[in-house]
């Protein structure tokens, strides 16, 4: 029976695993995936709110990209796993090859055989009359002059002189691979993997509701144990903060800071186009543990470094400006209600159309638009301060509005602008409210109130009906008078409830198709006469009995606005009357302890690459055997691990220098 051959035994599982983890194929595959992930992370903006991605990609692709973790590639679970495998693979390479390379750096291989030397590409064999001692002395001086370290060994029948130069080339391989491991570990330290692990283990809960920081539960808060973070916080002038908001998945978590940041003053400068040119914050940073306090000014690209935390000036916004309004009813009450609120505040409003929730979102001091000028050259125009808010009904549906403080002149008439939209990604549609003789909106609101007043409509429609009967010669026909009055009042009510569109739709529903154009012209004539009658009564209430051309210009501007009031989507109009602006500095605070680790790894990597590419590991051997006549048989050989063309020249120089002084 043939005994088993140990060399053919099946390798152990651990050996197979080490070979797989340390294989070049695995390392190259992982590096390719990391490169692809880096491209994705560069092309696709990272760490934005999920709502922004939803608007950009739509529901389907938003979900696909979210499930793949593409919104935070460098902290995605699959990316962290790949980085982990890359660290393990590179470490296994160092573990398997490091000892051998360290031995090669120390071993001069003085036991080399003559057969091995003759098989080398660079070798030369000669005989000389010079004795062994002279040959070795000559070779030793020559090699040492060229920077080689030399070792000698006497084997009895022959002697070997071994020389080596550039042994740290092998150390470059180790430095390169260890540097990669250190860089990867540093990068993982600065990732969100600690937070994701805490979320996966149920130790941390992502908060998805927009609530004040004081109401964020403890399960969504992180202590100062977190080794790395990058978050944002908005601090109004004169206020302080000691927390950050870290974006995570579709929500956020609150990071507790070991220090407090106070914004003493915030300053912003603008270009003529209205774009911000520079903004800076005067801050005071205080650490209660050590008592350290720093006063500094933070500007864009000029962060403050406080004990390893970098504080950047990232943005600016409103810090809770105090606003004053007049709330005008658009359905029957011309007397406004004075109201005060602050940005980010939420308030309950009682309107004639039910309860509404007012959510004030933002205040802007400047609104710059490009207005066409002479010769087709646009020039910037400031529309003045504006406020953005939402009005939400009892079903939770809301429209977003933007109202301006000062009127804008359009075609010679001043209008107060109020933009409205039902979805954030849609453009605003603007209601133009013409300014009255006193520069306000009071006359327009009187006109709107009159259009919803039953008494006013009855008065105007009755007067028009009597004039119509008088023209027809039927002054005493009560039935006809009532019918005409009812028709006129109905037309005016249709306009008040739905504008011109409702009037035209009524014609289409009640009149045969072949007579609709004629009927529509008649309806519009009656409507315009009724609107004029209502407007004259409004002027009479203000003591204007003889309207001027300016009054009629206002009438021409007000009627189209009254027609679209039903499309405004709100029962009230909020007129911004005064404000006290409070600005807030948007700060980004980061802590990256892995940055120093990455720098160390990068230095190791660069040093290793330099040693690998610019230092050649060269070995030279001189094998000498005594001849019977007192001479010496010399075998001179050498090898190099790179740059063979240059080594050809170098070995040739050594060979010529050695044998030129040895007599054949």
Residue 617: its H or E element: none
Asked whether residue 662 is domain-assigned, the answer is yes
Asked whether residue 328 is domain-assigned, the answer is no
Structurally, how many domains does the chain consist of?
A: 5
Separation between Cα atoms, residue 171 and residue 79, nearest integer Å: 30
Asked whether residue 63 is domain-assigned, the answer is yes
In this predicted structure, the answer to whether residue 3 has a pLDDT above a threshold of 70 is: no
In this predicted structure, the answer to whether residue 48 has a pLDDT above a threshold of 80 is: no
Same domain membership, residue 210 and residue 159: no
Pairing type for strands 251-270 and 221-222 reads: parallel
DSSP secondary structure string, 345-406? -EEEEEETTEEEEEEEEEEES--EEEEE-GGG-EEEEE---EEEEEEE-TTS-EEEEEEESS
Tokens of residue 288, six digits: 């209660």
In this predicted structure, the answer to whether residue 10 has a pLDDT above a threshold of 80 is: no
Give the per-residue pLDDT at 271.
Answer: 76
286-320 pLDDT, tens digit each: 999 999 999 999 998 899 999 889 999 988 889 99
Residue 168: its H or E element: helix 168-189
Task: Choose from 264-273, 275-284, 343-352, 374-383 the range with maximum mean pLDDT.
Answer: 343-352
Asked whether residue 222 is domain-assigned, the answer is yes
Same domain membership, residue 539 and residue 521: yes
Separation between Cα atoms, residue 232 and residue 227, nearest integer Å: 17
Domain boundary among 531, 556, 591: 591
Nearest to 263, CA basis, from 281, 277, 245: 281
Specify burial of residue 300 (Cβ count, 10 A radius: 0-12, 13-18, 19+): middle
Residue 275: its H or E element: none
Same domain membership, residue 649 and residue 562: no
Residue 254: its H or E element: strand 251-270
- Work out the average pLDDT over 630-650: 90
Separation between Cα atoms, residue 50 and residue 56, nearest integer Å: 10
Separation between Cα atoms, residue 6 and residue 9, nearest integer Å: 5
Q: What is the mean pLDDT of the chain?
A: 88
591-632 pLDDT, tens digit each: 988 888 999 999 999 999 999 888 899 999 999 999 877 789
Asked whether residue 5 is domain-assigned, the answer is no
Same domain membership, residue 519 and residue 409: no
- Work out the average pLDDT over 325-352: 88
Mean pLDDT check: name the lowest of 194-208, 235-249, 647-661: 194-208
Residue 626's φ and ψ, nearest 5 degrees, are: -75, 145
Is residue 14 very low, low, confident or very high in pLDDT (cuts 50, 70, 90)?
A: confident
- Work out the average pLDDT over 264-285: 84
Q: How many CB atoms lie within 10 A of CB 38?
A: 13
Nearest to 285, CA basis, from 273, 267, 303, 300: 303
Same domain membership, residue 38 and residue 78: yes
Separation between Cα atoms, residue 132 and residue 160, nearest integer Å: 11
DSSP annotation of 192 reads S
In this predicted structure, the answer to whether residue 328 has a pLDDT above a threshold of 90 is: yes
110-151 pLDDT, tens digit each: 999 999 999 999 999 999 888 899 999 999 999 999 999 999
**SS3 state at 252:** strand
Is residue 278 very low, low, confident or very high in pLDDT (cuts 50, 70, 90)?
A: confident
Nearest to 134, CA basis, from 157, 164, 161, 98: 161
**Could you tell me where the DSSP H helices lie in 211-272?**
none
* β partners of residue 256: 243
635: left (phi over 0), alpha (psi -120 to 50) or beta: beta
CATH of the domain at 257: 2.60.98
Separation between Cα atoms, residue 446 and residue 441, nearest integer Å: 9
In this predicted structure, the answer to whether residue 176 has a pLDDT above a threshold of 50 is: yes
Q: Which domain holds residue 280?
A: 204-319+583-591
Mean pLDDT check: name the lowest of 327-331, 426-430, 579-583, 636-640: 327-331
Give the per-residue pLDDT at 255.
Answer: 92
**Given the structure tokens 């908005």, which residue do they identify?**
234
In this predicted structure, the answer to whether residue 476 has a pLDDT above a threshold of 60 is: no
Separation between Cα atoms, residue 224 and residue 256, nearest integer Å: 6
Asked whether residue 190 is domain-assigned, the answer is no
In this predicted structure, the answer to whether residue 433 has a pLDDT above a threshold of 90 is: yes
Same domain membership, residue 497 and residue 377: no
Same domain membership, residue 394 and residue 472: no
CATH of the domain at 157: 3.30.160.110
Residue 404's φ and ψ, nearest 5 degrees, are: -105, 150
DSSP secondary structure string, 455-480? HHHHHHHHHHHHHHHHHHT-TT-HHH
CB–CB of 578/324 below 8 Å?
yes
More confident residue, 576 or 352: 576
- Work out the average pLDDT over 370-375: 73
Give the per-residue pLDDT at 300.
Answer: 87
DSSP annotation of 266 reads E
Same domain membership, residue 352 and residue 301: no
Give the per-residue pLDDT at 65.
Answer: 87
Asked whether residue 609 is domain-assigned, the answer is no
Q: What percent of the chain has pLDDT over 90?
A: 44
More confident residue, 514 or 270: 514
Same domain membership, residue 631 and residue 511: no
Separation between Cα atoms, residue 651 and residue 657, nearest integer Å: 10
In this predicted structure, the answer to whether residue 651 has a pLDDT above a threshold of 90 is: yes
DSSP secondary structure string, 519-568? HHHHHHHHHHHHHHHHHHHHHHHTT-SS--HHHHHHHHHHHHHHHHGGGS
Same domain membership, residue 392 and residue 276: no
Q: Which residues of 367-392 are buried (b: 16+ CB within 10 A; e: fewer)?
A: bbeeeeeeeeeeeeeebbbbbbbebb
Rounded to 10 degrees, the C-alpha dihedral 249/253/259/261 comes to 80
Domain boundary among 366, 400, 431: 431
Is residue 421 very low, low, confident or very high in pLDDT (cuts 50, 70, 90)?
A: very high
Separation between Cα atoms, residue 553 and residue 562, nearest integer Å: 15
CB–CB of 273/258 below 8 Å?
no
Tokens of residue 60, six digits: 């389907």
Same domain membership, residue 452 and residue 571: yes
Separation between Cα atoms, residue 286 and residue 295, nearest integer Å: 9
Domain boundary among 86, 103, 120: 103
DSSP secondary structure string, 219-233? GGEE-TT-S-EEEEE
51-100 pLDDT, tens digit each: 788 888 888 888 888 888 888 787 777 888 888 888 888 888 888 888 88
Give the per-residue pLDDT at 8.
Answer: 55
CB–CB of 27/90 below 8 Å?
yes
- Work out the average pLDDT over 509-523: 86
Residue 201: its H or E element: none
Nearest to 178, CA basis, from 604, 513, 585, 589: 604
Give the per-residue pLDDT at 385.
Answer: 94
Same domain membership, residue 260 and residue 146: no
Asked whether residue 437 is domain-assigned, the answer is no
Specify burial of residue 74 (Cβ count, 10 A radius: 0-12, 13-18, 19+): buried
In this predicted structure, the answer to whether residue 243 has a pLDDT above a threshold of 90 is: yes
Distances (CA, A) of 234 to 91, 243, 281, 423: 43, 10, 12, 26
């Amino acid at each position: 029976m043939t005994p088993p051959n140990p060399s053919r035994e099946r390798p152990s599982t651990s050996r197979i695993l080490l070979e797989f983890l340390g294989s070049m194929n695995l390392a190259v595959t992982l590096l390719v995936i990391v490169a692809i992930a880096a491209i994705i992370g560069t092309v696709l903006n990272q760490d934005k709110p999920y709502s922004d991605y939803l608007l950009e990609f739509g529901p389907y692709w938003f979900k696909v990209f979210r499930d793949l973790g593409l919104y935070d590639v460098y902290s995605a679970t699959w990316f962290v796993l790949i980085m982990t495998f890359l660290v393990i693979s590179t470490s296994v390479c160092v573990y398997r090859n490091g000892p051998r390379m360290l031995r090669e750096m120390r071993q001069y291989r003085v036991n080399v055989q003559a057969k091995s030397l003759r098989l080398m590409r660079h070798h030369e064999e000669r005989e000389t009359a010079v004795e062994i001692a002279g040959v070795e002395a000559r070779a030793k001086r020559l090699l040492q002059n060229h920077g080689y370290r030399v070792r000698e060994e006497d084997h009895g029948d022959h002697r070997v002189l071994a020389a080596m130069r550039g042994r740290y080339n092998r150390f470059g391989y180790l430095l390169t691979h260890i540097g990669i491991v250190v860089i990867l570990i540093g990068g993982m330290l600065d990732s969100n993997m600690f937070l994701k692990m805490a979320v996966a283990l149920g130790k941390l809960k992502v908060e998805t509701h927009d609530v004040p920081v004081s109401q964020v539960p403890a399960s969504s808060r992180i202590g100062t144990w977190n080794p790395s973070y990058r978050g944002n916080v908005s601090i109004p002038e004169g206020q302080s903060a000691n927390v950050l908001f870290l974006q995570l998945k579709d929500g956020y978590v609150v990071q507790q800071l070991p220090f407090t940041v106070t914004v003493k003053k915030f300053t912003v400068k603008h270009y003529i186009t209205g774009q911000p040119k520079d903004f800076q914050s005067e801050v005071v940073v205080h650490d209660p543990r050590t008592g350290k306090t720093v006063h500094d000014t933070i500007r864009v690209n000029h962060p403050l470094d406080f004990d390893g935390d970098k504080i950047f000036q990232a943005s600016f916004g409103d810090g809770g400006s105090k606003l004053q309004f007049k709330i005008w009813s658009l359905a029957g009450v011309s007397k406004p209600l004075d109201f005060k609120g602050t940005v980010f505040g939420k308030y309950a409003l009682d309107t004639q159309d039910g309860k509404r929730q007012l959510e004030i979102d933002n205040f802007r001091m400047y609104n710059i638009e490009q207005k066409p000028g002479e010769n087709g050259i646009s020039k910037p125009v400031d529309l003045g301060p504006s406020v953005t808010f939402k009005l939400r009904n009892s079903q939770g549906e809301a429209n977003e509005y933007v109202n301006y403080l000062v009127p804008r002149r359009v075609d010679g008439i001043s209008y107060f602008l109020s933009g409205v939209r039902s979805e954030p990604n849609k453009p605003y549609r603007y209601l133009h409210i013409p300014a009255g003789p006193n520069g306000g909106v009071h006359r327009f609101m009187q006109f709107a109130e009159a259009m919803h007043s039953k008494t006013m409509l009855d008065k105007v429609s009755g007067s028009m009906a009597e004039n119509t009967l008088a023209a027809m010669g039927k002054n005493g026909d009560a039935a006809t008078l009532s019918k005409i009055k009812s028709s006129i009042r109905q037309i005016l009510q249709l306009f008040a409830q739905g504008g011109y569109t409702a009037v035209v739709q009524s014609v289409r529903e009640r009149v045969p198709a072949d007579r609709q154009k004629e009927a529509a012209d008649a309806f519009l004539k009656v409507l315009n006469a009724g609107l004029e009658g209502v407007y004259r009564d409004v002027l009479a209430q203000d003591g204007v009995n003889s309207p001027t051309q300016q009054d009629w210009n206002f009438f021409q501007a007000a009627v189209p606005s009254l027609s679209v009031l039903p499309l405004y989507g709100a029962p009230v109009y909020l007129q911004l009357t005064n404000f006290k602006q409070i600005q807030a500095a948007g700060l980004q605070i980061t802590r990256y302890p892995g940055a120093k680790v990455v720098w160390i790894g990068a230095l190791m990597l660069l040093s290793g690459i330099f040693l690998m590419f610019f230092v050649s590991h060269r070995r030279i051997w001189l094998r000498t055997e005594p001849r019977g006549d007192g001479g010496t048989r010399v075998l001179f050989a050498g090898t190099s691990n790179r740059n063979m063309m240059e080594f050809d020249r170098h070995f040739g120089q050594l060979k010529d220098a050695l044998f030129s002084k040895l007599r054949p």
